[in-house]
Structure 1
Amino acid sequence: MTVDYERAVLLPIDMQQAFDGEAWPRRWNKAVDGNGLALIRRWRETGRPIIHVRHDSVTKGSSLAPGSAGNRFRPGFEPLAGEPMVSKSVNSAFIGTDLDLRLRRLGARHVIAFGISTDMCVSTTIRTGANMGWDMMLAADACDCFELPDGMGGTISAEAIHAAHVATLGFEFCRVVTTAELIRA
């Protein structure tokens, strides 16, 4: 399928300050903010739609709870006036929100997702969107994730987790693209 970028909605997912906190494990992608901000700039320059996604945790004491410092967007990722935001409390931006309706009202054909974390909210949103019939795209170099325990006393590196999820998503659920490809489009 050819991409009609005029009908492609950019979906920054959970670009929030909490993920810089000490409670979270090591992340790997030092270029995540630069690449994500470059995509947002390009979408704004071209007048293409952006729908920001914020995780508003309902878990008591969560660093992502509304009103907490960690709930705030990372610098530069705040929606501008007129740019919509979807608030979610689960991993998928489609579950319990009006994201699908917003996309339909925009006449969207493609949804380009990026954010934190590749293996959790980004992956779940892409999988749900694909299952709902959306042409999902992943800006993989504008994503980041955390190293995680492997359940056997070891640790799986953030790089390995990211690579496995990008491969799985690209095989079944979306097209994987780079920031540079999207900026050129």
Structure 2
Amino acid sequence: MTRALLVIDMQRGFDDLEFWGPTVNPDCEANVAALVERWIADEEPVVVVRHDSRSVDSPLHAASPGNALVDAVAAVEPALLVTKNVNSAFYGDPDLHAWLGDRGIRDVVICGIQTNMCVETTARMAGNLGYDVTVVLDATRTFDLSAEVAGVGAVTRTASELMTTTALVLERGGFARIALTADVI
């Protein structure tokens, strides 16, 4: 056992497009399911990460039905379930880094939601911690993002632009390799 699949925040609350806004990659869930199926067939560990938002207004709040995992992930008996309330799975409970280290796992393959938030943050930390990291881009998705940014002004990026930027930053920054589901399975 030298690699683990990290499935980040595949939760029903992300289907609430009135809350999150426009998204891309409708194949994300099917691609995550294919990865999970492959890992189980290969008897390799699947780590499921769930975001338990502290905000009572969030679809990901622990008391919200949106906190539940999507069917493809809920059906899995994970090797480890990590709960978190921040972007990185490495700041969750139980301690992901310790769990991976205890098992000698040095390669992590990451998929899930949101590409430019929890997936990217987890990948960056994994890279900084010395793991060999692969992000399966077509097994992730995100949402359009707009904000008024000090010194910049109004900024809007589409979900597609954010996914592309994340892929570029992770690959060129040396944090992770970017791959597609078909290449990984």
The 5 A counterparts of 1:49-60 are: 49-60=45-56
Structure 1 position 177, deviation (Å) = 1.2
The alignment partner of 1:162 has SS state of helix
TM-score in terms of structure 1 length: 0.91
The 5 A counterparts of 1:65-76 are: 65-76=61-72
Amino acid corresponding to residue 182 of structure 2 in structure 1: A
Instruction: Indicate yes or no: 2:25 matched with 1:29.
Output: yes
The alignment partner of 1:51 has SS state of strand
Aligned mates of 1:89, 1:150 — CA distance in 2: 22
Gaps of at least 5 residues in structure 2 are: none
**Structure with higher strand content:** 2
> How many residues of Structure 1 are paired with residues of Structure 2 in the alignment?
178
TM-score in terms of structure 2 length: 0.91
Aligned mates of 1:77, 1:150 — CA distance in 2: 32
Which residue of 2 is the match for residue 157 of structure 1?
Answer: 158
Residues 119-140 of structure 1 deviation map (CA, whole Å, 9 limit, x = unaligned): 0000000111111111111011
CA RMSD between the two structures: 1.5
The alignment partner of 2:90 has SS state of coil
Residues 94-147 of structure 1 deviation map (CA, whole Å, 9 limit, x = unaligned): 024300011112221101001110100000001111111111110111010101
Q: Percent identity?
A: 37
Aligned mates of 1:68, 1:96 — CA distance in 2: 19
Aligned mates of 2:119, 2:38 — CA distance in 1: 20
The 5 A counterparts of 1:40-119 are: 40-78=36-74, 80-81=76-77, 83-97=79-93, 98-119=95-116
Aligned mates of 2:77, 2:111 — CA distance in 1: 21
Change (3 A) 1:142 1:86: same
* Runs ≥4 residues deviating over 2 A: 79-83, 150-155
Which residue of 1 is the match for residue 13 of structure 2?
Answer: 18
The 5 A counterparts of 1:134-173 are: 134-149=131-146, 151=148, 152-153=153-154, 155-172=156-173, 173=175
Change (3 A) 1:32 1:67: same
Gaps of at least 5 residues in structure 1 are: 1-5
